[in-house]
Amino acid sequence: MDSLSLLLSPYPLSIKTPKFPTFKPFSHFSNHSKPHSPKSQLPSFSALQTPSLNSLQTPLAKPFFSFTMLNLFTPLPCLADVASDDAGKINLESVLVSIDNFFNRYPFFVAGCTFIWLVVIPLAEEYLKKCKFVSAIDAFRKLRDDPNAQLLDIRDQKNVRFLKSPNLKMFEKEVAQVEFAEDGNEDEFVNKVLGRFKDAPNTVICVLDSFDSNSLKVAELLFKNGFKEAYAIRGGVRGQQGWMYPDLKPPSSPTPSKPQ
């Protein structure tokens, strides 16, 4: 009757099976005791299921918690990039502002430094340069004042016959004539010039051409090969402001030979 009343009751049965105490059966015969029933030996379903779920949930909860805390304390790379960009931008702006403030406080100092950098230094380098263009008057003064200064005429024989080399006998000097060809052998030309001037390291040479097309090239070549200084006469013999220019005509200028 009890089992029938339980089945007909309006409330459902509980899922969790109750644990009933097991009693050892009483028997008058001590040697022939009944074995325990299988139901009393098997554990309940809930007892088997609950430990297994707990054992699975416990190791999974620990890594999840550790990974979550690691993500919280680890900075994101995108945030680091933004922070570095902002820092660089702020530094650049501060540098520009400091430079602008310096220019506003010391305008004359900045103008003076700019003038020295753009004007004084290039002029000093050009003046102290030992291989450059010089005017005919400056070349004449060097030949007159410096005993080690010599004149080199690099024109071909045809131009030399038409217009002779300058006369430097008043300075007790002679003009060296060594023809230079653009397509010729430069080493051979240098050897010929060195043969004419024995003391090249102490010689200041002035190069004279018909114009100034090859004179600077020859001056640089001779300076690299051991001459103390090498200058190219601007305008050459017949060019504008050259050795034959009427307003700048130095003494002992060559005179054109009359054609026969």
pLDDT at 146: 92
If you search the block for the tokens 């640089």, which residue do you land on?
Answer: 220
Q: pLDDT band at 75, cuts 50/70/90?
A: low
Q: In what order do the strands lie in the sheet with 131-134?
A: 131-134, 229-233, 204-208, 149-153, 176-177
Q: What is the rounded average pLDDT of the residues 190-197?
A: 92
CATH for 131-233, options being 3.40.50.300, 3.60.20.40, 3.40.250.10, 3.50.50.60 = 3.40.250.10
Mean of per-residue pLDDT scores for the chain = 72
Lowest mean pLDDT among 87-96, 132-141, 165-174: 87-96
Q: pLDDT band at 169, cuts 50/70/90?
A: confident
- From the number of C-beta atoms within 10 Å of its C-beta (0-12, 13-18, 19+), residue 40 rates as exposed
Q: What is the rounded average pLDDT of the residues 176-205?
A: 90
Which residues neighbour 45 within 8 Å (Cβ) at sequence distance 6 or greater? 17
pTM: 0.52
pLDDT at 252: 52
Q: What tens digit of pLDDT does each residue of 37-57 get?
A: 444 444 444 444 444 444 444
Which of 46-50, 68-72, 171-175, 240-244 has maximum average pLDDT? 171-175
Q: What tens digit of pLDDT does each residue of 219-230 get?
A: 999 999 989 999
Q: What tens digit of pLDDT does each residue of 126-158 get?
A: 777 778 899 999 999 999 999 999 999 999 888
